[in-house]
Amino acid sequence: MARAKAPLAVLIVEDEALLAMDIEYMIEDVGHRVIAEAASLFDVEALAPDLCPDIAFVDIQLARDTNGIDVSRLIRQRWPKTFIIFVTANPKKIPEDFAGAHGVIPKPFSKSGLVSAMRYIEEGVCDPPPTSPQPSSFLASPAFAQSWQR
């Protein structure tokens, strides 16, 4: 299986416009490309099937009474190779199995926290397992953390 290579293609699913712009800036600042943004499940459904993001940053509570758990399921169906990272102030709302997501970055986060998490995730996506220590700003899902253990 061919591994993704940097710069990674990133999808941001966040209903707070200013936060989505901040995340986009931080991701692009470390050399990756934001290929789409969405504020709800309906927006993700409207994206082109051939979009193929390498990573999706997904909030749990989204616009139009939709949620990141359903978005995660849709992404796994449509783009099964996409690494899904929840970005949420409500990590307790994530199911025990993480709904197939690879991890979570709890809100609020700092720029250095998101950048550290992004670099760690990039290592894991491009050349697993990551060689850097897992930053405190990123919590891997139990199944995913186990897959990256040496």
| Predicted confidence (pLDDT) per residue in 55-68, tens digit | 999 999 999 999 99
**Which percentage of the chain shows pLDDT scores above 70?**
97
**Cα–Cα distance for residue pair 9/77, rounded to 1 Å:** 18
**Cα–Cα distance for residue pair 114/119, rounded to 1 Å:** 9
Q: Phi and psi of 25, rounded to 5°?
A: -60, -45
Is pLDDT above 60 for 1? no
| CATH code of the domain occupying 9-147 | 3.40.50.2300
Query: What is the pTM for the complete model shown?
Result: 0.94
- Name the band, by pLDDT with cuts 50, 70 and 90, for residue 149: low
Domain spans, the chain: 9-147
**Which percentage of the chain shows pLDDT scores above 90?**
75
DSSP-derived 3-state class of residue 27? helix
Tokens representing 50? Answer: 């051939």
